[in-house]
Every structure is written in C-alpha cells, then in structure tokens.
Structure 1
C-alpha cells in the first residue's frame, strides 16, 4: 500500500485552486491553473520552466496576482499591431486632428521601427529604456535612411547628404522630442492598461528627465514699436497689431469672423481656430482648450485699425464681385478666401526683413505680449485670462520672461532696504515701529 509520502513529487495531489504541475515529454515542466481574466471571468493559463520549482513559481505568481484582482494578460499580438489599433480606433476620437497627425508620425517614425516587433504582453521597462538610449545616441539620418532616399539629381536644396554620401552629420534628437516620443508611448500603453490588456504601464517606470524649456525671443519695447510702425500700410496691418497687442494665437487670428467682433463695445469673442489639416485641408476647429474660448477687450488702436481693415475689405469685395468668396472671416485673401497659416508666416518674415528686425517666430509675438505686460506690472491672472491659459502656472513659467531690467529693479529695491555695509540703517521715526523693509512682491 502506497502512502502520500511514497508518491512522486510530480504526482502528489495539490489543493483545489492551486493548479497542476507535470513534466512534459520534452523534459520541460508545465504548470496550469485558473486565473482572473478581463470581464470578471476566469481562464486557464499555462506556464513553463526547466524545473518543477521554476514552473510552480511562475504559476504561483500569476495566481497571487489574480487574487489581488489583477486580470491576466490576454493580448498576444505585437506592439505595432496594438499601436495601429490605438491610433485608428481610440486616439482618433479623443485627440484634435493636428495632434493625431503628430502622434501618427511619432508611431510610424520611431515607435514601430524601434519596438514594434515586441510582444505587447512581454514589453518591459528595460526594453523602453534601451530603445530611448539608442534614440539619444544614434544619428537619425543614418538610422532611418532619410538622406539616402532623396533623389541625387533633384534640383532642390534638400539633396542627399550625411549617410548617403558617407559623412555622418551626427544629428541627434532634442530632449524635448525624446520626451514627446516617450509621452506618446505612455498614452498608448495607458489605454492598454485601461482595457485590461496588460497589468501595468511599463513606460511610466522609465524616467527621461525634464527637458529644458525652449528659449524664446520676444520683442523688447523698442522692437515692438518698430514692428508696429513697419506694419502701418500693410494689407494685414490690423492682424499684426492685434497679434502684438492681445497675444492671440495664429489660428485664433485667422479664425476670427466679423460676427465675433463688437467694435462699438471694444470686445472680441475667441471661439474657433483655423488650421491646415491632413484630411479636410484648411478647416475651422474648436479652440485649443476650453479656457482658450474667451472674450477679450480690444485696445483702442486695434478697434481703429479693424474699422479701416473692414473698409478695405469692402472695397476688395466690390472689385472681386461676383467672384468674391463670402467666408465671413475678418482676415482673408483679396478674393475672400481664408488665409493659409503658412502664407501668414511668409508675410510676417517679409515684414521683419523690411523693418530690419531680428528674425523671430510669429508665435513670439504672443510671448512679447506677455513679457511687455509683465514689465508694466500687470497681474499674472490678468495675463492668463487674456492669453487663454488653463493654468496660471503656464503663464508664470513659460510666458513670463523677466528681463535684466526687472532683475536690476528688484536688486536695487533690496539694496535700498538693506542699506550698505559701511552705512548704518536709518533709524525709524517712531521708536515703537519696526525698521523699514521691502514691499512684498506678488
């Protein structure tokens, strides 16, 4: 008669729910058991190991995770397949079209070539970290063969160079671009966790560091006056003046309609933005955020220039009739069609060259507005409402460029409060009053 002690280890009866462990014909050990699956169901999983202890440890880990309420992984496809599914079925319904276009470019250019062959269920933080380190150190021209695909006989300025001619340009991705690529991967894997396809987001365990903010080049007060003087007489003078005096974004300026303006009351309602999209071409979209939809006060010079612009547009309409395109936009081409954002950028740079001003981006007019308002002592909360930021921290950290003059004023204020080392501090007029101190700065 055999006893449980005499029974081989592989044949001993395990407790209910512990699963089974046995040795296969190929000498490997297999353990199988039931664990929690998505949808509050249960499924049978199988794990393998070179020894009985290894297989049993893997099964025990899965059962323990199931007991904690973590469902087992059901995805068997590659990361490339999931990213494609995520872009076409999820992100397209939750992102702005321009943002979805950028996400698609990141997925096609970086994520799929670098990590696409990995199984989604087997992707680890080490895989993500190794891939990001490679992006930091590898020349992107050589890695992606950008220059090699160009036509050597093409009569353009973008002729083959770098790896195509055997001389690496050592082009590296900026820290800001790396952080953006990492954020796209985190967003995709976060949705996989939300749908209980994977137990955790391994990309969140990888730290890329905080990139330094991009340096801006806002106009000084003298440069701003010079820019406004140069814009006088330009067909889009009202647009350039409105951009510098109110800090509106390029798309918000081009998306303005006459129905959004109250010139008698001196206000403008920002309700939409005009952008070039991949699917619809030049399209009118909602504002960037909910906070961007706002009502602002128009400066008196802007009201005057807008009235003059309206009169000029009426003459253009009369000259172009009946071919006038009634779009209702404030700023249009001579035929009434909306203005392309790229066309506005070309007009802006041409104006800078004519005025002999240093080259800046059109968006730097927005930075100039915030900086000049701050230098005049305007409260940050007022600047936030004017620019349409969701959080005042964005206004304080990104758009509040404190210039050297403000720093000098702050240092001088502290110097007057502390006095000099060889000069005693002045006695208070009343002995019961405390010594003078600098006023608190908000």
Structure 2
C-alpha cells in the first residue's frame, strides 16, 4: 500500500551538511543562512537575502565557495560596532536636536567665567541644522556599508528625513569697513595675518598652518599645503587642506609682501630674545615663544580689534566672505575667485555668492535702462536698483 510519505519522498531534497538553509520570510523575501570562514580562522553564520529562492541560494553558494577556497568573509562588524558605540554613547543619548550641547558636554566647566549650566542659566547652545545633516549622513553611510556586507537587511537611516539645511547667512565687511579694520590692525603683532586674510580669503586654519618654506617673497606667491586644527586625539595638529582643490598656489599682493618681510624680522628678534626657550615650529604666525597659535586665540584677537574699531561683530570666516564679495564688486571673474578661495567647483563659488552676483546684475540692468531712456525722459532721475539680500 502506498502512503503519502512514500509519494513525497522522491521529490524531497536533502541538503548536505554545511550547505545551509533557505526559507521564505514573512516579508516575502528569501533568506539563506550558512557557516563560512571568518577572519581569525574562525567560522561564523551569515545570512543573505534575495527576491527569489534561487537568488538567495546563489548568493549563499558564492560565499560558501569563497570560504572553501580559504577566503574569509568580509565583515564590517569592527568598524561599524566601534562607530555605533560612539554614536549611542556620545551623540544619540544627548538628543541632538533639543539638548544644549554646552551643558551636555560640560563645556561650561572649563570656562574661566561660566555663563551656562554652571551659572544656573542654560544658553541653549544646540547643534546647527547643517551639523545635524552631517551627523545623519555619516550614520547613513555607516549603515549602508553594513547593508553591502549583508550584516543588516536594510538601512533604516534612509527613512529619516532631515530636510535641506539653509546655508548660514554671512555679513561681509563693506569696502569702508574693511579699510577701517585694516587701520585698526596697525601696530598689532598679528597685523600681517589679518591683512593677508582680508587680501587673499585664506581660511583660519590655512593662515595658521603657513610655514616660511611655503612663502616665496621674492616671487610674490604662497603655497597652501596644510591647515592647522585642534583635534580631540592629537591636540593642535597640521592636517591636509579641506579638499584637494584647497591645496593651491596663490599670488600675494605687494602690501602683504612688505608686512610679511617686517614680520619675519620681528620674529627673528623674538627668537633671539627667547633664547633656549624658543620653540622652532617653522610656522609664519606663532606666539612670542615660537609655538603655533591656537585658533581660539586668534579669534579673541580678532574680536578685540573689531571692538576697538567700533565695527559690528562678525566671524573670522566672514573675512573670507568679505574678500570674495569685494572682488566680485570689482568685476573680478568668478573663476579667478574660485581658484583664490580653493573651492572644489565653481558651482560652490557661484552658489555661495549668488546674492552678490544678483545685486551686480541689478546694477548692470539699471545702468542699461538709464542708457536706453527716451530723450523726453531726460529729466527723470536714473533708476535705482532695489536692495537684494
């Protein structure tokens, strides 16, 4: 007598030991799992996925075949685990959008005069939308790597919509304000640095990272090769420039050349006065003992000069924006400004300074309208362009 089990037996497939298992998930995808060689001459169970049983089984077969050849399965566990541990302990736990970072990170405790949590009054210093977008981008990239290595089935960070952060508004100095600022720097020990910043648009880290070997005072050029930044792991460190395009060679104006020559002579006098206490860092702009200058120290000097000149308070980085804006207003081509600032693409320059170009277009259109006026309109005043912000 034939039983149902006897009827099904010939069609039943028995997989060999080590071939793994294949089954359909509740989400209709197929999952295949098996053991393969892992780093350290160990074995681990992996899971692969496919839209069909054949696709999932094919992926598993490829990994098992590579394992049999002695090739360990790649794993993102180390780097991913390290990063996500940092993320959970240092970022996510602090609720980035709503928590004052000054209080959470204990920054107020290190200040000479507390003005936030240590003083009983929160300053509500939160991360900017641009920083939040960057943090999300890094997390999404880390999870995407884990998906490619098939450590996780999907990247949940893709479901988060952070929105497009608005670019930070900047307030560049006008030509009159720039002249006032330069007058205020006369006699200051770092006057050549501020003059160079306003004439060339160099970033703060690029200015502090300049070495004498980077300057060709006879030829009137400077080579931008590094940026000086403070890192949590290494302290004040010379790092590569922000982008590959940021490593560039720029021309130096005559006033800056004269100031740099005088600054070099003054630094030699400071070196002689310091004697054995001199720290030969090789940087152009240093402290009186030859050590590199901290970015925060430069910012304090900058704010003091603004106050003395009775100018509105701006960021040091706005000197860079001032340079580009003033050059545009003088009719300098966008590509020249892009090379001077070290932007990766001319589109970056065009986007950042779009409001300046729009204002210049308005001025040009008004001039053309004035030239095309009818003779009987000669008594009317010329058109004045509306302010564009």
TM-score (norm 2): 0.73
Is 1:393 matched with 2:347? yes
For residues 354-393 of structure 1, the aligned pairs below 5 Å read: 354-393=308-347
Q: Secondary structure at the match of 2:117?
A: coil
Match of 1:292 in 2: 246
Alpha-carbon shift at residue 318 of structure 1 (Å): 2.1
Q: Using a 3 Å threshold, how does the CA distance of structure 1 residues 206 and 16 change in structure 2: closer, same or farther?
A: farther
Query: Between Structure 1 and Structure 2, how many residues are aligned?
Result: 348
* Cα distance in 2 between the residues matched to 1:109 and 1:2: 67
Structure 1 regions of 5+ residues with no counterpart? Answer: 22-31, 47-58, 74-78, 89-103, 115-133, 424-442
Is 1:260 matched with 2:214? yes
Which whole-Å deviations, capped at 9, do the CAs of 1:45-96 have from their partners, x for residues lacking one? 79xxxxxxxxxxxx996735515748999xxxxx9987442479xxxxxxxx
C-alpha contact (below 8 Å) 1:239/1:331 kept by paired residues: yes
* Cα distance in 2 between the residues matched to 1:328 and 1:109: 36
Match of 1:53 in 2: none
Q: 2:307 aligns with which of 342, 345, 353?
A: 353
* Cα distance in 1 between the residues matched to 2:235 and 2:136: 29
Alpha-carbon shift at residue 177 of structure 1 (Å): 3.2
Structure 2 regions of 5+ residues with no counterpart? Answer: 24-29, 64-75, 378-389
* Cα distance in 1 between the residues matched to 2:282 and 2:232: 23
Alpha-carbon shift at residue 212 of structure 1 (Å): 0.9
Alpha-carbon shift at residue 218 of structure 1 (Å): 1.1
* Cα distance in 1 between the residues matched to 2:224 and 2:22: 66
C-alpha contact (below 8 Å) 1:72/1:199 kept by paired residues: no
* Cα distance in 1 between the residues matched to 2:172 and 2:53: 59
Q: RMSD across aligned C-alpha pairs, in angstroms?
A: 4.4
Q: Using a 3 Å threshold, how does the CA distance of structure 1 residues 87 and 233 change in structure 2: closer, same or farther?
A: farther
C-alpha contact (below 8 Å) 1:249/1:366 kept by paired residues: yes
Q: Using a 3 Å threshold, how does the CA distance of structure 1 residues 45 and 218 change in structure 2: closer, same or farther?
A: closer
Q: Using a 3 Å threshold, how does the CA distance of structure 1 residues 262 and 38 change in structure 2: closer, same or farther?
A: farther
Which whole-Å deviations, capped at 9, do the CAs of 1:228-256 have from their partners, x for residues lacking one? 11111111100000001001111111111
* Cα distance in 1 between the residues matched to 2:223 and 2:327: 21
* Cα distance in 2 between the residues matched to 1:238 and 1:149: 32
* Cα distance in 2 between the residues matched to 1:229 and 1:379: 28
C-alpha contact (below 8 Å) 2:223/2:250 kept by paired residues: yes
Q: Using a 3 Å threshold, how does the CA distance of structure 1 residues 356 and 80 change in structure 2: closer, same or farther?
A: farther
Match of 2:116 in 1: 158
Match of 2:90 in 1: 109
Q: Using a 3 Å threshold, how does the CA distance of structure 1 residues 326 and 400 change in structure 2: closer, same or farther?
A: farther
Which whole-Å deviations, capped at 9, do the CAs of 1:318-370 have from their partners, x for residues lacking one? 22223222221111111111111111111110011000111011111111111
C-alpha contact (below 8 Å) 2:36/2:45 kept by paired residues: no
Is 1:196 matched with 2:150? yes
Q: Using a 3 Å threshold, how does the CA distance of structure 1 residues 20 and 313 change in structure 2: closer, same or farther?
A: closer
* Cα distance in 1 between the residues matched to 2:307 and 2:265: 28
Q: 2:270 aligns with which of 316, 322, 326?
A: 316
C-alpha contact (below 8 Å) 1:243/1:253 kept by paired residues: yes
* Cα distance in 1 between the residues matched to 2:257 and 2:21: 78
TM-score (norm 1): 0.65
* Cα distance in 2 between the residues matched to 1:14 and 1:206: 45
Q: Secondary structure at the match of 2:277?
A: coil
Q: 2:187 aligns with which of 233, 254, 258?
A: 233
Match of 2:171 in 1: 217
Alpha-carbon shift at residue 208 of structure 1 (Å): 2.1
Q: Secondary structure at the match of 1:273?
A: strand
Match of 2:56 in 1: 66
C-alpha contact (below 8 Å) 2:226/2:240 kept by paired residues: yes
